[in-house]
Structure 1
Amino acid sequence: MSKKWVRYQQGEHQGFGTLQNETIHCYSGDMYGDSRPTGKTLSLSEVSLLAPCNPTKIVAMWN
């Protein structure tokens, strides 16, 4: 089973983790590199989900 990575905001804090059912398992470090589980979990109802990457917009030009 593949991991479903999410970014979230809880109050002023932004973080990332894996989503399993309705629970986010929090990670620290770099989401796209060296990440480690913190052991902390959050309910999906406690947070707002964010776009999967920052910046949230990609501009592509074609010639």
Structure 2
Amino acid sequence: MGLEFGGILGLIWLLIIIWAIVKVGSSGASGLAKAIWILILLFAPVLGFIVWLLIGPKG
């Protein structure tokens, strides 16, 4: 059971990161800011997502 549960949590986390990347891409931020946020989300997904929620581009 543990392996299946971990797989489901991993899939949910992947969907959250994809959602965050889509939100960054559709934000009103500059192209460079979008690129930096997307790289942060890809290379440090947990910390990047938390930081993005707190101070990321709004709108």
Question: Shorter-chain-normalised TM-score: which range?
Answer: under 0.3
Structure having the larger proportion of residues in helix: 2
TM-score, normalising length: structure 1: 0.26
**Which of the pair has the greater relative contact order for Cα pairs under 8 Å at 6+ separation?**
2
Structure with bigger strand share is: 1
